[in-house]
A = this chain, B = another copy of it.
Amino acid sequence: MPAPTLRSLARELGLSRTTLSDALRGSPRVKAETVARVRAAAKAAGYERNPLTGAVMSQLRRSRGQQFRGVLAVIEIIEQPQTSFGVRYNESLAAGIAARANDLGFKVERFIVGPNGVKLGRLDTILHTRGIQGLILLPAVGFPDLSELSWHRYTAVYADYFIDHPPLHCVCSDHYRSMVALLHELHARGYRRPGLFMEIALDERLQFRWEGAFLALQKYLPGITEVPALQVREVTRETFTEWFKRYDPDVVMGHFPVAMDWMKACGAKLPKSHGFVCLNSLRTAGDCAAVDLRTGLLGARAAELVIGQLLHNEFGVPEQPSLTTIPAKLIDGPTLRPMGTPKAKAPANAKT
C-alpha cells in the first residue's frame, strides 16, 4: 500500500486537499468538527505530516523563492568553567557543523544549558516555540542527562563517545584507530621506544582507547622495547621527568606540549635524539607534530546525520544507537624525524 497523501486522503473523505491541509494544521478557517474528523481519518490511514516539508512549501509559496533555511540547534551543556582547550574544541566542532549545515540549506543556532545559560525545561519550550527539531549536542564534561527533553519532537546526535540519557547516535573521533596509525607511522620512521603520558581523566572518558591501542601495538609491532605508559591524575614536571629519565622513550606522545620543555631540560634534542607528538593539534601552537582529530569533519558528519533524519521524518530516540567515527590524521612537524632517516643505531642483523 503506497503511503497516503493529502490528495488521496481528501478523496476518501470527500473533501478538498486544501481543507485537509488547513485542518491538519489547525487553521481557524475550518470548522472544528471537520478538523476532528480529518485528524481521526489521517491517524487511521497512517498519514504523517513532515514538518520540514511543510515549512519549505510554506516559504516557497509565500515568498517566491526567497532563501529559506531550516534550523539546527547546537547545544552546549556547561556545568563548570570550561578550559580554553575545551572551548577551542567545541568551537571547531561548531564551525564544521555550521559549514556543512549551510551547504545543506540549514542554519545553526547556539544554546547553552547550565548555570550561565538556560535550564533544560526552558530550552525545551524555546526549541518548541521556534520550531527547531534537529539538535546537535556538543561534548559535555561527565555524562549529561537530557532525558527531560520532549524527545518525540526532536532528532539529535551527540558529538562524543556515548550518552545514555537518552541513548542517541554519536559522532566521535576514532582514538583507537588513530593511535594504531600513529604507532605504525612512528615505527616506520624508525622509533622503537614509544612512550605515552596521559592524565587518567582524559583517557578514562574514552574507555582508555589511547592506552588500549598503545598496549596492544607495543606487543605486536616488531622490535619494540616496551615503555610503560605514564598514567597519572595530573601530569607534573616532576612525575614526567622521573618517568622520562627512567625509561628514556625515543618518542613521546601526550596531550601537553609543555612536555617538550621538560624533555629538553633533560638534555633531549628535538628531533635529533627524541621525538614528540601532541595527541591533539588544538592544544599546540603549531610548533610540533600533532594529531589532528578532524573536528571539522566530525561536525560535518554530525550535521549530515541529523539533517538526514530530519528529511526522513525520523524523530525521537533511535531504536538502536550507533557510533560514527572518523580517523585522525598526523600533522607532521619539526619534532619528528622525517621518513627514511637512518635510525640512531642501525640494526646489526636486521631481519624483516
Residues of B within 8 A of A66 (CB): 2-3
Q: Taking chain A's interface residues, is the majority helix, strand, or loop, or is none over half, making it mixed?
A: mixed
User: In the complex the two chains form, is A207's CB within 8 Å of B104's CB?
Assistant: no
A238 adjacent to chain B (CB < 8 Å): no
Chain B residue nearest to A55 (CB atoms) is B311
With an 8 A cutoff between CB atoms, is A208 at the interface? yes
Would A53 and B56 count as touching, CB distance under 8 A? yes
A270 interfacial by beta-carbon distance below 8 Å: no
Q: What chain B residues lie within 8 Å of A53 (beta carbons)?
A: 56, 59-60, 68, 105
In whole angstroms, what is the CA distance A322 to B324 when docked?
Answer: 7
Residues of B within 8 A of A208 (CB): 213, 216-217, 219-220
**CB of A267 within 8 Å of the partner chain:** no
Within 8 A of B (CB), among A56-92: 56-57, 59-60, 63-70
A99 to B156, CA, bound (A): 25
Interface-side segment among A135-143, A173-181, A247-255, A340-348: A173-181
Among A11-19, A44-52, A271-279, the stretch in contact with B: A44-52
CA distance A204 to B219 in the complex (A): 12
> Considering the chains assembled together, what is the distance between the CA atoms of A215 and B177 in angstroms?
16
A67 to B2, CA, bound (A): 6
Contact with B along A281-312 (1 / 0, CB 8 A): 00000000000001001000100000010011
A320 contacts chain B at the CB level, 8 A cutoff: yes
Bound complex: CA of A325 vs CA of B177, how far in Å?
13
Q: Across the interface, do A56 and B323 meet the contact criterion of CB distance under 8 Å? A: no
Stoichiometry, as copies per complex, reads: 2
* Contact, CB under 8 Å: A59 / B311: yes
Q: Are A176 and B212 in contact (CB under 8 A)?
A: yes
Give Cα distance in the complex from A59 to B323, angstroms.
26
A4 — nearest CB in chain B belongs to which residue? B65
A contact residues vs B (CB 8 Å cutoff): 1-5, 47-48, 50-57, 59-60, 63-70, 103-106, 174, 176-177, 180, 204, 207-209, 211-213, 215-217, 219-220, 231, 294, 297, 301, 308, 311-312, 320-327
4 more contacts with CB within 8 A, not counting A50-B56, A53-B59, A322-B326, are A208-B216, A212-B213, A212-B217, A297-B320
A105–B47 alpha-carbon span in the complex (Å): 15
Report Cα–Cα, A301/B319, bound state, in Å: 11
Q: A52's contact among B54, B56, B213, B326, by CB below 8 Å, is which? A: B56
Q: Once the chains are docked, how many angstroms separate the CA of A322 from the CA of B157?
A: 15
Closest CB-CB distance, A306 to chain B, in whole Å? 12
In the bound complex, do residue A67 and residue B50 qualify as a contact, i.e. CB atoms below 8 Å apart?
yes
Q: Which of A3, A53, A297, A301 has the most CB of B within 10 A?
A: A53
A322 with B322, Cβ < 8 A, contacts A50-B105, A207-B177, A213-B207 known? no
Closest Cβ neighbor of A70 among chain B residues = B52
Say yes or no: A325 contacts B322, CB within 8 Å. yes
Q: Which of A64, A212, A213 has the most CB of B within 10 A?
A: A212
Q: Is the CB of A211 within 8 A of B207?
A: no
Min distance, Cβ A69 to any Cβ of chain B, angstroms? 7
**Residue on B nearest A2 in the bound complex, by CB:** B64
